[in-house]
Amino acid sequence: MSNIYQTLISVAELQALQAAGATLLLIDASFDLADTAAGERAHAQGHLPGAHYLHLDRDLSAPKTGRNGRHPLPEREAFAARMRTLGLRPDTQVVCYDAQGGMYAARTWWMLRWLGHAPAAVLNGGLQAWTAAGGPLSQTATPAAPPSDFRPGPSLVASLDADRLLAGLGRLRLIDARAPERFRGEVEPLDTQAGHIPGASNRLFKNNLDAEGLLFKPAAQLREEFAALLAPHAPQQVVHQCGSGVTACHNLLAMEYAGLGGSLLYPGSWSEWSSDPGRPVAKG
């Protein structure tokens, strides 16, 4: 493959790959936390031709226990098996997209890197950018691909669990991607407690996008913003979290795009952390 995309890909770049006959796998990860069937309905009403749909709850998460967060990571092999059903091969360029500013596509991107699959990127601007550029939509269900023999390789990303995070509080730089009012503990529409993990700083994931909330900011601008937020910590000392480990991946993608790779994800995030009354909580 002449061009490998590992963070963002533009509509023009995707169309060039399509025109060149590149081996592609398109994944629609559109979702709505308030209506968990909305993304699948929208996919049926119109998706990029050839795209497959992955559902946040069914395909990108494991069952909930009440103590493992709202969107716990599945077993790595279980997700690899799901990707085999889509025909994923080591040389396949995966392009993930959604219609929500990349928040669910970024989770899919991170999980593919978790499997060791490097050629995975998020479509910058998502469905809206595709249609704005005159890209066609299909209402035809994408046929199942011949299953592949894909096997996970060494992970390209790092994560940590609640115990390691608890032990590292005060040494690690913790970034929370939730809305500021949730971070401060003024409201909590989804989880058992309001507040945040002590020592965390807040960067709403939407701050990675332009004024229209569509395209990612330029890499240089993101690098400047994150460098100021993280100083004096190196990216490898930074842990990202959110409510359930989804929008934190948006900040991880933005940092990777900005050349600040190597940060960790706390997959359980606030929904897991706050489920244990013995863990410390901060507000304000």
242 belongs to the catalytic site: yes
In this structure, what token pair is assigned to residue 166? 């608890």
Which residues on neighbouring strands pair with residue 121, listed in sequence order? 95
> Which of the following is catalytic: 105, 242, 255, 265?
242
DSSP-assigned letter for residue 145: P
Crossing angle for the helix pair 248-257 and 103-114, nearest 10 degrees?
Answer: 70
Residues 65, 66, 71, 72, CA torsion sign: negative
C-beta neighbour count of 62 within 10 angstroms: 16
Instruction: Using DSSP bridges, classify how beta strands 264-265 and 158-159 pair: parallel, antiparallel or unpaired.
Output: parallel
How is residue 198 annotated by DSSP?
A: T
Cβ contacts of 229 within 8 Å, gap of 6 or more: 175, 201, 203
> What is the Cα–Cα distance from 255 to 226, expressed in whole angstroms?
7
The Cβ-side half-sphere exposure at 283, using a 13 Å CA radius, reads 8
> Other CB atoms closer than 10 Å to residue 182's CB: what's the count?
22
- d(C-alpha 194, C-alpha 228), whole Å: 27
Residues involved in catalysis = 242
